[in-house]
Amino acid sequence: MARVALVTGGMGGLGEAICIKMVALGYKVVTTYSPSNKTHESWLATMKDQGYNFTAYPCDVSDFDSAATCIAAVERDIGPVDVLVNNAGITRDMTFKKMDKVNWDAVMKTNLDSVFNMTKPVADGMVDRGWGRIINISSVNGQKGAFGQTNYSAAKAGVHGFTKALALEVARKGVTVNTISPGYIGTKMVMEIPKDVLDSKIIPQIPMARLGKPEEVAGLVAYLASDEAAFLTGANIAINGGQHMS
């Protein structure tokens, strides 16, 4: 029977590529969209026209109860979640001098609390069934820090702390937990960086001298979700064109 893969934030640049890759591999792919997102129906229709059938549920990943309600609906309608990809995330970039609590909290809740909120309702089931994959999308900026991203870098670094701790707890239960740390990928999030900053400050830091492609990250997600990756857990895999080597 096809495994169920749940990808949060599947309608963003990275999430969409992950959904497409996973459905092509035969997973039943479920994604979430923010309850305030009014474009989910047109996205689903566009995907369907391209031959991709996804199911989408409203979910505020930053809210514990909303996440629990979403997972309950997915399990009722589709089945237990075998692969969870915690991909949803936001930026609120500004120097620390300008950073206020609203923008600190928004990023911590959406990028870090969300990982707890979404993993909590699925982890026990994975352990009970003896198979599961939790894949957390972090960032090169959680590894090295980034100008204007005290909030984002802190949340993304926290994601990998979560990965390592949970990986230990479920290691003997057939469940792996890993972090992927993409560098600058050609998504809307990165394209929102002022062009002069991107061209003068960021691209020159990337030895490959280009942005990554969403499909390149999706391929790594697919590998981590596979049976072949059963011995790989607690890792933080960098995919950043050589920008940061640890």
For position 241 contacting ligand CAA by CB under 6 A, the verdict is: no
Q: What is the arrangement of strands in the sheet containing 83-86, beginning at the earlier edge strand?
A: 55-58, 28-33, 4-7, 83-86, 132-137, 175-182, 236-239
Q: Where in 150-169 is the site for ligand CAA (CB under 6 A)?
A: 152
Stretch that binds ligand CAA, among 12-20, 117-125, 192-200, 209-217 (CB under 6 A): 192-200
Q: How far is the CB of 222 from ligand CAA (least distance, A)?
A: 20
DSSP-derived 3-state class of residue 58: strand
Handedness of CA 124, 127, 133, 135 (dihedral sign): positive
Comparing CB distances to ligand CAA, the nearer of 23 and 107 is 107
Is position 27 annotated as part of the catalytic site? no
How many other C-beta atoms lie within 10 A of the C-beta of residue 14? 29
Catalytic residue among 27, 33, 57, 152: 152
Stretch that binds ligand CAA, among 38-46, 57-65, 122-130, 136-144 (CB under 6 A): 136-144
For position 239 contacting ligand CAA by CB under 6 A, the verdict is: no
Distance set, CA 88 to CA 16, 170, 184, 225 (Å): 11, 23, 16, 18
For position 93 contacting ligand CAA by CB under 6 A, the verdict is: yes
How many other C-beta atoms lie within 10 A of the C-beta of residue 150? 18
For position 179 contacting ligand CAA by CB under 6 A, the verdict is: no
From candidates 47, 118, 175, 190, binder to ligand CAA by CB under 6 A: 190
Q: How far is the CB of 25 from ligand CAA (least distance, A)?
A: 25
Comparing CB distances to ligand CAA, the nearer of 136 and 149 is 149
The dihedrals phi and psi of 157, each to the nearest 5 degrees, come to -65, -40
* Alpha-carbon span 129 to 132, nearest angstrom: 8
* Alpha-carbon span 87 to 110, nearest angstrom: 10
Q: How far is the CB of 130 from ligand CAA (least distance, A)?
A: 33
From candidates 197, 208, 209, 230, binder to ligand CAA by CB under 6 A: 197
Number of residues binding to ligand CAA, judged by CB under 6 A: 21
List b or e across 52-89, with b for residues whose CB sees 16 or more CB atoms inside 10 angstroms.
bebebbebbbbbbebbebbbeebbeebebbbbbbbbbb
Contacts with ligand CAA by CB under 6 A lie at 91, 93-95, 139-141, 146-149, 152, 183-184, 189-190, 193-194, 197, 201-202
Which residues are part of the catalytic machinery?
A: 152
